[in-house]
Structure 1
């Protein structure tokens, strides 16, 4: 299963039950190895949690605006070309998917920017008597990643520290208490990479990720590839025709040479295979 299949998967879980309530927590940037760290922290704080674990594929390039947006749209990125460089349309795409499945706007919740602080906003949104399908973006791990200078070990340490805080288990408790079936996934993972140099492309790149560059034409992409012959020109299957990705070489990133970074955008297993977990309380 690829991430854009998830809403349909959730709709099937609902079936004909017009009272079913489902919450999808998308922990932006959470790699599978980091999920194991989170799981251990959750289990130690809440021994009653049960985890049914699967895996799904992220989109390539493994960027938030591509993969997370596809998750909430329930569609391949080729179907949202006008917003593929931003996540601003996610609430509308999430609402549209559920509208197409017979739900009203009052039954659909979308919130992002979660991960620390209090849960009043979430609690208020879920308290609407008709709220049935919640899409919740937790972006704390992605923020940790983009400030990470200590590699994979540093990521594990920081993610563990965050997961030991009460936020995530309190969020899950809140959802379970309100009768939601809770699923947790991620839009992409991340890897530790070494810099291979920055493309000096001026303003020709539409998107500049550390592990991927996006160009509007083959000529522009080809010119940059000349300098980085080991980089991979990715095809546009499922992507808009003018969304041409140049992926950094294996375990490398388009940053200063020899610089270590934790990033995403490429096609490593760690970036592309993410967890899909159903979380419940054992015995319920």
Structure 2
């Protein structure tokens, strides 16, 4: 009896040690995943190059807006994303690096409620230009609609114009933005420019697609970029990450690290 009891004890202890080790490995991998964002965050927060690309994007958008002719007597509209397009949330991402933790809805909600996002260079002046010269800005974001009050307060504090229930369309049921794009058009607007940091900010062509399919869509629409579609750089997150593998975000942190490396094109010396 004593021998049997001891064997069961050691078996259970071995399983516990294995489980503890596995959990520890996953936590270490999560910390490493967050650390992989550091240089991208440094670039966004510190480089003149990122700043230059932001100004370049909004200068291009202004020229595209001026050149566009609204169809059928409709009023010109510009649709923009918010996060990493008009406002900068990199401080939240840096907080995750500091604490070694992943994105979660509760911490993201806390960040939005803090109303500390800053304006991306050129964004406010572009929005004011559109609203002052015969157009109307629509801010279409996949922030959850429960964050509407905090989001609007943050935008108003930064000086964005025309912020209201009509123009700020957040996510209520699905992340696919097409229905909200169509709602703007149904009100008699001709959307002449779209601005975003994710290909999904321009329509459904790339929604749910892997990166190869997304690149093919970009190639097919290449003439639209710089005229109708204006892209802001975002090296830190987006559907390009989930586009690296099926169910990327359902994988363990250890597996996500492996996928990140597997997707590198490596010089074979």
TM-score under structure 1 length normalisation: 0.30
Compare the two structures and name the one with the higher strand fraction.
1
Higher helix proportion, which one? Answer: 2
Structure with the larger RCO, 1 or 2 (CA within 8 Å, 6+ apart): 1
Q: Which structure has the larger Rg?
A: 2
Structure 2 length as normaliser, TM-score? 0.31
